[in-house]
Structure 1
Amino acid sequence: MKRIYVVSLLIALFTTGCQSMRQEVEPAGLSQVAKKLVIIGFISPQDTVLAVKVNITRPIADANYTTNYGTVANAKVVLETGNRSVQLTYNSKNDYYQVDAKKFPVRAGETYQLTAQTPDGLKASGSCTIPQPAVLQKVRLDSVGDATNQKQYFVRYYWQDVSAMTNYYQTVGIFTYAKSCPTCKSEAGAKPKPETTPVVFESLGQAGTLLSDQANNGRVLESCRGFLNQSSTALPVSDKITFPNLYDRAFVRATLLNVDEAYYKYHQALELQKKSDGNPFAEPVLLPNTITGGLGCFAGFNQSTVTATFK
């Protein structure tokens, strides 16, 4: 009888505990949380179109989520700096607000204020200051052999960091190539078609596009390894297999972004989310919020681009 009593008591305690937990995660007031605008926008002097996404949050337990959540198509979205301002128009095809950059040039060193307001009174805003461009000085081609005796080609970017201030960077690139074709010379008009693929920047197997000058302020900085078309360049290590043997033509359009702190932290959080995707034991990653009266990120960057030809 004592055993039965103990088991009954444990069941009662467990049931009570579950009831308390259910009440903690499902309070009646959750559905009453006010909706907010969500703004995502990144602008630079090199943009041809200034574009901003404006969405709206969906309160938990909202039965009308199909109408209370999604892209906002009727907001008034204004971008301003100093005595200049412009209203962005909604593009229904791409679901964002836009304006031709020629009508509102973005300039380094200027601070921009973005405001979005809906007819029913929701309002949110954010601001950013455009950094000066960082000059990309050199793009170097190199290769590495991995544990499976495969050779992979990669590039590194090099640039001079601006001293006396904290800087944040992002590296991107496009690899354009035409595969080697020994028989093409004997075939009139036969040339391999060029192909393009993103440069994949990695550090220890993880995405590594974002960098800061912490502990290297004022020095020449270098990017993580940017791998080129891994499916084509992962070949058996051999002195006979060289980069010129692989490609008839090859070049990298290398771009270095000097980004503000908000851009850096937001995209850093996105990369951390991707790393923990599918891992049930990973710590949740919260996206930074730079929007007043809402959620999201409005940030600025500047960029320099060079084309490095390897053949």
Structure 2
Amino acid sequence: MKRIYAIFLLLIFLSSGCGSMRQEIDPASLGEIDKKLVIIGFISPQDTVLAVKVNITRPVTDANHTKNYGIAPDATVILSSGNRSIQLHYNGKYEYFQADPKKFPIRSGETYRITAQNPAGLQASGTCTVPQPAKLQEVRLDSVEDSNHRKQYFVRYYWQDDSQTTNYYQTAGLFAYAKPCPSCKTDANAKPEARTVPVLFESAGQRNTLLTDQAQDGKRLESHRGLLNEAAATSSSADKLNFANLYEKATVKAALLNVDEAYYKYHQALELQKRADGNPFAEPVLLTNTIQGGLGCFAAYNQAFLTVTLK
């Protein structure tokens, strides 16, 4: 009985403590906060569409906040590099500004500038330089067993890092496979089960696609583990089967992105936000801002691809 009473007192103490930390703020005391344009765009020489999002912030003190923020379809958006420039036009279906990269190729090593202005006079701009492509060399299949002797298959990417500069990377990939189809030999209508799923990269049990060459400048680098079709590979029916028995065909289209620092920091912050989602004790995560006169991130990356058949 004493223990229950003590717990009850502790709950009262915690509740009163949390209540004392609460502080009401009068919106009028915050003063007038100007709206700003928000630009989000990532460009690459491999782009099939040049696409940039342009939105408008919602000031916390704006009484008409339900209408005074969101997309900015009437903005003028210009992408330029040196003496080249192109206007991006608004696509209402996807709510972004776009242009054809065939008319304005993105080139490795060049610096690009994005500018946006709306009829109300809001202006914002950002610059970025496109990195050189990485040197993706190898995709290697491996596996690990859990305590029940079930195998989990994964891949690792290997590439050569360029020395004398800090480099940032992101890994991606698609795992395409077809399962064995014994009935296909006797049934003309039967078809093997075929799917294409993302390669799921992880580090220390957390999804993680980002890496840097810090302390490994100029060396041969390797990616985090890229899990292949996690649900199928760990099923009980696969306990004693090797990879060749699990899949009739299996390929990985590996993508290695050499990204600039702004891209790396922005996506790293997004990952931290996802991990903290729903955790009231997590520290706030600030997104990288590279936009002058506004908010957002304008950054660049360059991709290298390697398609391998897994056996």
Taking structure 1 as the reference length, the TM-score comes to: 0.90
Please name the residue that 1:105 is paired with: 105
1:267 aligned counterpart, secondary structure: helix
Distance 1:149 1:32 in 2: 63
Shift of 1:193: 4.0
1:211 aligned counterpart, secondary structure: strand
1:149 touches 1:236 (CA, 8 Å); kept in 2? no
- The CA deviation string for residues 149-207 of structure 1, in whole angstroms up to 9 with x for no partner, is 32111000000000000000000001111111122223336331421111000011101
Assess, with a 3 A threshold, how the Cα gap between structure 1 residues 299 and 19 changes in structure 2: closer, same or farther.
Answer: closer
2:114 touches 2:127 (CA, 8 Å); kept in 1? yes
Asked whether 1:43 is paired with 2:32, we answer no
Please name the residue that 2:290 is paired with: 290
2:86 aligned counterpart, secondary structure: strand
Assess, with a 3 A threshold, how the Cα gap between structure 1 residues 94 and 174 changes in structure 2: closer, same or farther.
Answer: same
1:152 touches 1:235 (CA, 8 Å); kept in 2? no
Distance 2:228 2:22 in 1: 55
Distance 1:120 1:238 in 2: 62
Distance 2:173 2:185 in 1: 30
Please name the residue that 2:11 is paired with: none
Query: Structure 2, unaligned stretches of length 5 or more?
Result: 1-15
Alignment of 1:46-195 (within 5 A): 46-188=46-188, 190-195=190-195
1:31 touches 1:59 (CA, 8 Å); kept in 2? no
Distance 1:236 1:185 in 2: 25
Distance 2:205 2:149 in 1: 17
1:65 aligned counterpart, secondary structure: coil
Asked whether 1:241 is paired with 2:241, we answer yes
Distance 1:29 1:291 in 2: 28
- The CA deviation string for residues 193-239 of structure 1, in whole angstroms up to 9 with x for no partner, is 42111100001110120000000000000000000111111134978
2:28 touches 2:61 (CA, 8 Å); kept in 1? no
Aligned-residue CA RMSD (Å)? 2.0
1:279 aligned counterpart, secondary structure: coil
Distance 2:137 2:146 in 1: 28
Assess, with a 3 A threshold, how the Cα gap between structure 1 residues 209 and 19 changes in structure 2: closer, same or farther.
Answer: closer
Assess, with a 3 A threshold, how the Cα gap between structure 1 residues 153 and 20 changes in structure 2: closer, same or farther.
Answer: closer
Distance 1:185 1:241 in 2: 21
Assess, with a 3 A threshold, how the Cα gap between structure 1 residues 45 and 212 changes in structure 2: closer, same or farther.
Answer: same
Please name the residue that 1:3 is paired with: none
Taking structure 2 as the reference length, the TM-score comes to: 0.90
| Count of residues in Structure 1 that have an aligned counterpart in Structure 2 | 294
Query: Structure 1, unaligned stretches of length 5 or more?
Result: 1-13
Shift of 1:130: 0.1
1:171 touches 1:223 (CA, 8 Å); kept in 2? yes
Distance 1:257 1:173 in 2: 11
Please name the residue that 2:12 is paired with: none
Shift of 1:26: 2.8
Shift of 1:29: 4.3
Distance 1:55 1:176 in 2: 37
2:23 aligned counterpart, secondary structure: helix
**2:23 counterpart (18, 21, 24):** 21
Please name the residue that 2:196 is paired with: 196
Distance 1:164 1:185 in 2: 57
